[in-house]
């Protein structure tokens, strides 16, 4: 499978310069965790026997109960994906006008607002946590502001109390996009319990997946009721619609996948944690590379291996390093380059937004995400890290070779 001895490697052997790739098969960021295949297939067989495939069936109901239990929330509403879950939550909370969001997030956070003609107002992040910076939020509040969406990026919690304080003082709704943070905690409480509501993604690439899927968790009875109706077209009974709604329902097979994965989360966390520690050991002495840390006293899912590259020390840019890794079949990612504010329609709407987003601008050019999850083993990590060390040690020569 692995066909290049990196320890003995010469520069010409880099696939980028014409050699063979280090990995025969592509090593992806976001390769799904699977869990117990037989348990899943048993459940799918049962779904077929029941002939109940979607619309709040047995498995969705079980899945919702388990997620509510695990997060310690009163209500969990399973949704067909994280984006629709955000859209419904935003609508159910009555947000309009402007909502403050970090620019350093997956585009879905911003789109879920703009899709409903609510303006996402992009806020800068804290360079240490990569999360929305409460100090920047107040400057962005206008009479049109109705809410804040904090994103627990990489599963690391936002500064929850500071955001709650601002939301309370300005009478704003507070949603957390917890797409990355299932299984994580903040000050000993599970993510899911904060703000007016929190939204998970269970997309295939996430720590826990339901193929496609998401969920809203909240302790607010009224809100939960409204979201439940809205995700089912607004039906409040046979032939009776009381809100504008959409089709946000999770299907039974997705819920069966979720339940099956829940039985393996301790194993997923153990594997991710072991791999995270291995990456830290292998890369901690490489000048110009910093791996983000996770708070040891909290629960973490360790799904994301995030490197900050300091080009002034590595002498190689993040982008060139990514190109070199891709040539070796290591599909590292540049999440979330170039930042939502630099993507359409936002870059046309707010051409000067970047002036208020210096930390986002800087970090989006320096972050690199490496493969993790149950599809990656120790040998893979060894090899990935050897290549990174090799490239940085030989940065000047590599750059000379590719200079025009
Ligand atoms: N908020 C935040 C903060 C989010 O990160 C996301 C989603 C959302 C909201 C919205 O939730 P959802 O509506 O998606 O539930 C991927 C995912 O599609 C997206 O769900 C995720 N964030 C984002 C971080 O990553 P892309 O554009 O990078 O997808 P793609 O197709 O390039 O796949 C990523 C990698 O995963 C590739 O290297 C291939 C690998 N992969 C992917 C799939 C689907 C596999 O190996 N197997 C697979 O089945 O967005």
Residue nearest (by alpha carbon) to ligand 1 atom 16: 205
Domain count within the chain = 2
Tell me, yes or no, whether 256 and 117 share the same domain.
yes
DSSP 141-171: --TTEEEEEEE-GGGPPP-HHHHHHHHHHTT
d(CA 8, CA 359): 39
Residue nearest (by alpha carbon) to ligand 1 atom 46: 31
Tell me, yes or no, whether 249 and 290 share the same domain.
no
Pairing of β 330-331 and β 27-28: parallel
Tell me, yes or no, whether 91 and 200 share the same domain.
yes
- pLDDT, one tens digit for every residue, the chain (404 residues): 345 667 777 888 899 998 999 999 999 999 999 999 999 999 999 999 999 999 989 999 999 999 999 999 999 999 999 999 999 999 999 999 999 999 999 999 999 999 999 999 999 999 999 999 999 999 999 999 999 999 999 999 999 999 999 999 999 999 999 999 999 999 999 999 999 999 999 999 999 999 999 999 999 999 999 999 999 999 999 999 998 999 999 999 999 999 999 999 999 999 999 999 999 999 999 999 999 999 999 999 999 999 999 999 999 999 999 999 999 999 999 999 999 999 999 999 999 999 999 999 999 999 999 999 999 999 999 999 999 999 999 999 999 888 76
d(CA 107, CA 372): 22
Write down which residue in 243, 262, 281 finishes a domain: 262
d(CA 232, CA 45): 25
Tell me, yes or no, whether 398 and 283 share the same domain.
yes
Tell me, yes or no, whether 110 and 181 share the same domain.
yes
Per-residue pLDDT, 8 = 72
Residue 371 lies in a domain: yes
Write down which residue in 262, 292, 309 finishes a domain: 262
Residue 194 lies in a domain: yes
Tell me, yes or no, whether 213 and 297 share the same domain.
no
Residue with tokens 């929305």: 132
Tell me, yes or no, whether 63 and 151 share the same domain.
yes
Among 30, 105, 149, name the best residue to mutate to test ligand 1's pocket (greatest count of ligand atoms within 8 A of Cβ): 30
Tell me, yes or no, whether 178 and 111 share the same domain.
yes
| All residues at 6 or more sequence positions from 251 whose CB lies less than 8 Å from its CB, including other chains | 53, 54, 60, 80
- Using the atom order of ligand 1, give the atom closest to the CA of residue 31: 46
Residue 93 lies in a domain: yes
Tell me, yes or no, whether 234 and 283 share the same domain.
no
Name the pTM for this structure: 0.97
Residue nearest (by alpha carbon) to ligand 1 atom 33: 30
- Using the atom order of ligand 1, give the atom closest to the CA of residue 26: 38
- Using the atom order of ligand 1, give the atom closest to the CA of residue 203: 15
Residue nearest (by alpha carbon) to ligand 1 atom 25: 205
Q: Taking CB atoms and a 6 Å cutoff, what residues make up the pocket around ligand 1? A: 28-32, 81-83, 105-106, 108-109, 151, 177, 179-180, 201, 203-205, 214, 331, 335
Tell me, yes or no, whether 240 and 273 share the same domain.
no
Range of the domain at 135: 37-262
Write down which residue in 207, 235, 262 finishes a domain: 262
292: domain CATH number? 3.90.1150.10
For ligand 1, the distance from its centroid to the CA atom of residue 200, given in whole angstroms, is 13
Per-residue pLDDT, 80 = 98
Residue nearest (by alpha carbon) to ligand 1 atom 23: 106
Packing angle, helices 265-283 and 378-393, rounded to 10: 30
Rounded to whole angstroms, the maximal C-alpha distance in the chain is 71
Per-residue pLDDT, 4 = 66
Per-residue pLDDT, 3 = 55
């Amino acid at each position: 499978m692995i066909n290049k001895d990196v320890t003995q490697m010469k520069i010409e052997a880099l696939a980028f310069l014409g050699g063979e790739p280090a990995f025969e098969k592509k090593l992806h960021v976001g390769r799904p965790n699977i869990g117990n295949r037989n348990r899943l297939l048993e459940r799918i067989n049962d779904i077929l026997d029941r002939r109940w495939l979607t619309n709040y069936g047995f498995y969705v109901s079980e899945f919702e109960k388990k997620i509510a239990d695990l997060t310690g929330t009163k209500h969990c509403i399973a949704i067909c994906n994280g984006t629709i879950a955000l859209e419904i939550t935003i609508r159910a909370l009555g947000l309009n006008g402007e909502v403050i969001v970090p620019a350093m997030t997956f585009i879905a956070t911003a789109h879920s607002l703009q899709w409903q003609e609510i303006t996402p107002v992009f806020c800068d992040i804290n360079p240490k946590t990569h999360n929305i910076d409460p100090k920047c939020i107040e400057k962005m509040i206008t009479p049109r502001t109705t809410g804040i969406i904090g994103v627990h990026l990489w599963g690391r919690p936002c500064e929850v109390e500071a955001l709650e304080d601002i939301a309370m003082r300005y009478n704003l709704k507070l949603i957390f996009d917890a797409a990355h943070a299932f299984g994580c905690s903040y000050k000993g409480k599970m993510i899911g319990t904060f703000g007016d509501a929190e939204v998970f993604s269970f997309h295939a690439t996430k720590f826990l997946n339901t193929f496609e899927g998401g969920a809203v968790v909240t302790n607010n009875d009224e809100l939960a009721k409204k979201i439940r109706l809205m995700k089912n077209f607004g039906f409040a009974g046979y032939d009776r619609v009381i809100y504008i709604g959409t089709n946000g329902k999770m299907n039974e097979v997705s819920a069966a996948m979720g339940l099956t994965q829940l039985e393996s989360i301790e194993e997923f966390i153990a594997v991710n944690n072991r791999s995270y520690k291995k990456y830290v050991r292998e890369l901690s002495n490489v000048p110009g590379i910093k791996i983000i840390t996770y708070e040891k006293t909290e629960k973490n899912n360790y799904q994301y291996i995030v490197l900050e590259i300091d080009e002034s020390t590595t002498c190689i840019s993040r982008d060139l390093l990514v190109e070199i890794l891709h040539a070796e079949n290591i599909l590292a990612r540049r999440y979330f380059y170039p930042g939502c504010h630099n993507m359409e329609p936002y870059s046309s709407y707010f051409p000067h937004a970047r002036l208020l987003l210096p930390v986002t601008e800087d970090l989006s050019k320096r972050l690199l995400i490496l493969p993790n999850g149950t599809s990656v083993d120790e040998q893979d990590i060894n090899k990935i890290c050897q290549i990174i060390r090799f490239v940085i040690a030989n940065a000047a020569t590599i750059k000379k070779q590719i200079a025009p």
